[in-house]
């Protein structure tokens, strides 16, 4: 078949009805199975302002300042996420932030004041940041999301406080400081070092551990969130994470979901945590760079396919969460020099690959902003009257493409839990692989062409392909198989 670069082709090879039946059965039997979720990450301050009365110190011209978004605003825009097809929402930490920001500099940006708008500079674990909203606002978000079939993951920090906090100088009952200041080298000892120079909480001390655990668990229980995204996982020891797993399960339920931010995480490097059942999932830091390289012509297609296959080594019942952009890395579209056609190929690969796809807010409308701090800029709302991103243009065609791919992913068990068979030959320019779900018989053939021209490709049909007809899930229509 002929393929243009921008149009990966899909062919589903078995009866649709059987796949649908099995999908419904499986969803009921595995209430806590996150293999079919599509996760959307929002920096609350940068998304939607639903309450101007809490906009203390807001300066939307400051790339590191507060921009006014809040939980009420996010709640009011949940239909935007439901319409896109996402099934889970991850929001940044919402506890009270340090009172004043820090002077900051970045290439290409005027020196600016960096505030705690991102939520990771906590002053008090037991209080909410009023610019984000109240505990009731968080509960209303969770309830409104649940009505739309969307789970909410709350980001929590255990490793450090803000640069200033109510904990500085605090000591335990037997006189030990709560904080380690400026000690250690993260290259030598990740647990005792000060990440980004932030005061390191000594969570190995039971009094400190109980304070942060109790605060986060109480907030989760009050609001009814479905799980935690665990910040700076690498920088806390396994004893803490084992205790964390026990307590969250005991107090928040067996299905309470844990997603670890282990910097550099892959199927291989996360396996120890999965083996010890500390968490249910971890971010896959390898997908973004691998995809960027391949779509730009670096490396053979067969090697990239072998990499995708290696992601299937993840332990059964545990998940990799793979993303194209994040608040801690330059955004993919910028890394690709703004090439939206190549970006689309990575979107297609993200949505046809094993794991929990994570969409960084606004990426689905080709949000601009490349490196920090502009990778955390405002959600584009185009002509819609939503601040802070009112008037920022949106690529609606890109959003439609995301919608289509998310819908295809959610319809096919093969794409979420199926096996991976690489069909690319050593010299083939086109990447070809088959995803197959043995239980339902659902199969999807994925073909991706990174060349700047149409190419012809022969794909060896397996014995399991069955009926000699398939359906193109992107362009529509039948595909004849010979």
Site for Ca ion in 147-186 (CB under 5 A): none
68 binds Ca ion (CB under 5 A): yes
**Residue 477 backbone zone (phi > 0: left; psi -120 to 50: alpha; other: beta):** left
Q: Which of 10, 34, 55, 367 binds Ca ion (CB under 5 A)?
A: 55
Radius of gyration of the chain (CA): 23
Please enumerate in sequence order all residues whose Cβ is within 8 A of that of 374, keeping only pairs 6 or more positions apart, or say none.
Answer: 63, 109, 368
Shortest distance, position 55 Cβ to Ca ion, whole Å: 5
Taking CB under 5 A as the binding criterion, the range among 52-60, 253-261, 282-290, 379-387 that sits at the site for Ca ion is: 52-60
Q: Which of 49, 129, 155, 200 binds Ca ion (CB under 5 A)?
A: 49
Q: Which of 37, 45, 51, 284 binds Ca ion (CB under 5 A)?
A: 51
Counting DSSP H helices and E strands in the chain, the numbers are 13, 22
Shortest distance, position 54 Cβ to Ca ion, whole Å: 5
The closest residue (CB) to Ca ion is: 70
C-beta of 139 vs 309, nearer to Ca ion: 139
Shortest distance, position 51 Cβ to Ca ion, whole Å: 5
Q: Is the dihedral of CA 57, 199, 230, 323 positive or negative?
A: positive
Shortest distance, position 70 Cβ to Ca ion, whole Å: 4
C-beta of 43 vs 444, nearer to Ca ion: 43
C-beta of 54 vs 353, nearer to Ca ion: 54
| Cβ atoms 205, 243 nearer than 8 A | no
C-beta of 128 vs 398, nearer to Ca ion: 128
As beta bridge partners, residue 12 has 444, 471
C-alpha separations of 368 from 62, 353, 357, 372 in Å: 16, 25, 20, 12
Helix axes 135-147, 206-223, angle to 10 degrees: 50
C-beta of 71 vs 321, nearer to Ca ion: 71
What dihedral do alpha carbons 217, 219, 222, 224 form, nearest 10°? Answer: -80
Site for Ca ion in 69-88 (CB under 5 A): 70
C-beta of 106 vs 392, nearer to Ca ion: 392
The rounded distance, in Å, linking the Cα atoms of 95 and 119 is 7
Shortest distance, position 128 Cβ to Ca ion, whole Å: 13
Question: Which residue in the block uniquely carries the two structure tokens 């803490």?
Answer: 240
Shortest distance, position 92 Cβ to Ca ion, whole Å: 15
# binding residues, Ca ion (CB under 5 A): 6
Q: Residues interacting with Ca ion, by CB under 5 A?
A: 49, 51, 54-55, 68, 70
């Amino acid at each position: 078949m002929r393929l243009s670069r921008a149009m990966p082709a899909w062919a589903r090879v078995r009866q649709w009805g059987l796949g649908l039946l099995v999908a419904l059965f499986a969803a009921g039997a595995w209430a806590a199975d996150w293999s079919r979720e599509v996760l959307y990450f929002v920096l609350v301050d940068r998304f939607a302002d639903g309450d101007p009365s809490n906009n203390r110190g807001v300066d939307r011209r400051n790339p590191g300042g507060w921009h006014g978004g809040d939980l009420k605003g996010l709640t009011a825009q949940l239909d935007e996420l439901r319409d896109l097809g996402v099934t889970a929402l991850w929001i940044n930490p919402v506890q009270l932030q340090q009172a004043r920001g820090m002077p900051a500099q970045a290439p290409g940006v005027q020196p600016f004041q960096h505030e705690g708008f991102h939520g990771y500079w906590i002053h008090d674990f037991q209080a909410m940041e009023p610019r984000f909203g109240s505990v009731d606002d968080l509960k209303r978000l969770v309830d409104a999301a649940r009505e739309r079939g969307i789970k909410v993951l709350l980001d929590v920090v255990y490793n450090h406080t803000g640069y200033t906090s109510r904990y500085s100088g605090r000591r335990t009952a037997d006189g030990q400081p709560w904080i380690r200041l400026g000690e250690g080298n993260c290259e030598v000892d990740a647990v005792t070092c000060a990440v980004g120079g932030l005061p390191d909480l000594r969570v190995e001390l039971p009094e400190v551990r109980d304070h942060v655990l109790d605060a986060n668990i109480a907030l989760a229980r009050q609001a009814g969130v479905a799980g935690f995204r665990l910040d700076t996982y690498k920088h806390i020891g396994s004893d803490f994470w084992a205790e964390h797993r026990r307590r969250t399960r005991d107090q928040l339920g067996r299905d309470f979901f844990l997603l670890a931010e282990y910097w550099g995480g892959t199927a291989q490097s996360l396996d120890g945590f999965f083996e010890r059942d500390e968490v249910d999932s971890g971010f896959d830091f390898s997908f973004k760079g691998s995809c960027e390289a391949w779509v730009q012509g670096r490396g053979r297609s067969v090697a990239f396919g072998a990499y995708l296959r290696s992601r299937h080594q993840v332990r059964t019942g545990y998940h990799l969460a793979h993303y194209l952009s994040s608040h801690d890395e330059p955004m993919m579209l910028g890394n690709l020099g703004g090439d939206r056609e190549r970006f689309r190929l990575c979107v297609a690969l993200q949505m046809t690959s094993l794991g929990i796809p994570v969409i960084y807010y606004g990426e689905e409308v080709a949000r601009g902003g490349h490196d920090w701090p502009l990778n955390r800029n405002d959600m584009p709302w185009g002509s819609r009257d939503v601040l802070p991103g009112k008037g920022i243009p949106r690529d609606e065609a890109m959003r439609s493409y995301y919608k289509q791919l998310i819908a295809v992913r959610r319809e096919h068990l093969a794409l979420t839990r199926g096996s991976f068979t690489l069909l690319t030959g050593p010299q083939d320019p086109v990447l070809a692989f088959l995803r197959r779900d043995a239980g339902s018989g659902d199969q999807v053939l994925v073909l991706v062409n990174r060349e700047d021209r149409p190419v012809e490709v022969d794909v060896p049909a397996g014995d399991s392909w069955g009926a000699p007809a398939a359906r193109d899930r992107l362009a529509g229509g039948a595909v004849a198989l010979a």
